[in-house]
Amino acid sequence: MHIVIIGNGVTGITAARFLRKGSSHKITVVSSESEHFFSRTALMYIYMGHMKFEHTKPYEDFFWEKNKIDLVFDHADRIDSDSKSVHLRSGKVLNWDKLIIVTGSKPNKFGWPGQDLDGVQGLYSKQDLELMEQNTAGIKKGVIVGGGLIGIEVAEMLHSRGIEVTMLVRESGYWNIVLPEEESALINAEIRDHHIDLRLDTELKEIRSGNDGRASAVVTSTGDVIDCQFVALTAGVSPNCDLAKASGLETGRGIQVNRYFETGTPDVYAAGDCAEFTEVPEGQMPVEQLWYTGRMQGEALARILLGDRKKYDRGIWYNSAKFFNVEYQTYGQVPPVLPEGYGSFVWQHPQKRVLFRVVYRTGDKGVTGFNVLGMRLRQAVCEKWIRDNESVTSALEHLGEAVFDPELFSMHENAIIAAWNEANTGNPVKLKKKRGLYGVFQFLNMQKA
């Protein structure tokens, strides 16, 4: 059987690797972005001079031939599902028995005047990074449109080269459509402390052109004109389903699939950023656009094709990011505004940018989510507490088992417990487990029990 995979991001490559582990099928991976798989999340560090491109490749170049995974550096122009073929830009035609489409995402554009000028771009692909190198060479000022995770990455990238940065965020706080008020305010302060001109409640109205045809200024919804030589459009990404749409596959926001990644066309599958689930379990999303969910989907799809037909289930939500010097982790459900029937306890360090939040049901007090900024928690412990409906008081009493920071780092567990007890005098708790190896051993023993 010949399995063709269009796209060599984390989803496609994970699928290829697990298919190879479990079969002798012929596997071909097609990509026009790069010859070899690389870590997309590391693109910013190439620009900042921390890494070279070759450092972002998890596998040596000989890995693919050694494992009999054929790589085709070409662009897929058309899929013919009747003849089971993929037509490439070079004129080559690949025939397949099973086809996997993992074409990822593309930066959003919303029809802003001037959005296609030279010096205006998004950041997603290797080509985007190369274009950004050209567009920012020798410039003094850049404007970032959008306040998501890509926007903060671009801000740090430009800042690392001494380029003056203005961020336009339409919300009243950075990423407050995702983060609760306290977390958003903390990140607002972190951004401004790095001398980023953060403009909240502000949208892009138009991008103006200079005499050379390049971006020279932006006009905001408040009427301000900001001179600049570079504009980054980072107002989110959308599923890249252009190829699927042009080839007659069913699309909505993304390529529509069921929980087995099957499209409406026999033997054609889609996964990763470009896929949209038509069956969405409660608490999950139709489109998942994270590195770790892409990896999970690639493995799940490979197992399905190898005969282990189980519906994909993402499990408990997890994400992590970095906002300049502040690390962020979230586990489970931590909505920006709590729905009825849920409570939240938040502790924030009085001087440092460190925050801990736990969300729980007000009825049975079972924990449903955690946010941490400036500290780390163990994913396995947090997920177990959420899955087992651990009470908020029990989770706090055993907080030492979850803290991941090295033992010589500052300890915050006692301060967190003290803050809870001050706010909940009728239901005090006492820290029962210590952090470090003791807590790890306790957790491992708990797992064996």
In the predicted model, what is the mean pLDDT of residues 78-83? 96
Distance in angstroms (rounded) separating the CA atoms of residues 235 and 10: 22
- Going by C-alpha positions, the residue among 148, 206, 145, 146 that lies closest to residue 175 is 148
SS3 percent helix, strand, coil of the chain, rounded to 5, is 30, 25, 45
Q: Which amino acid is at 188?
A: N
Cα 306 to chain centroid, rounded: 28
Contact at 8 Å (CB) between 358 and 183? no
Per-residue pLDDT tens over the stretch 369-418: 999 999 999 999 999 999 999 999 999 999 999 988 776 667 899 999 99
Per-residue pLDDT tens over the stretch 161-198: 999 999 999 999 999 999 999 999 999 999 999 999 99
Give me the percent of the chain exceeding a pLDDT of 90: 90
Per-residue pLDDT tens over the stretch 309-328: 999 999 999 999 999 999 99
Query: Looking at residue 438, what is its pLDDT?
Result: 44
Cα 168 to chain centroid, rounded: 21
Q: What does each C-alpha distance from 328 to 187, 253, 433 come to in angstroms?
A: 10, 28, 24
Per-residue pLDDT tens over the stretch 207-236: 999 999 999 999 999 999 999 999 999 998
Query: Looking at residue 38, what is its pLDDT?
Result: 95
Mean pLDDT of the chain: 94
Distance in angstroms (rounded) separating the CA atoms of residues 359 and 354: 17
pLDDT for 107 beyond 80: yes
- How many residues are present in the chain? 449
Domains, the chain, in order of start with CATH, read 2-106+238-305 (3.50.50.60), 120-235 (3.50.50.60), 318-448 (3.30.390.30)
Q: What does each C-alpha distance from 156 to 73, 254, 418 come to in angstroms?
A: 31, 30, 35
In the predicted model, what is the mean pLDDT of residues 255-278? 97
Model confidence at 147, pLDDT cuts 50, 70, 90, reads confident
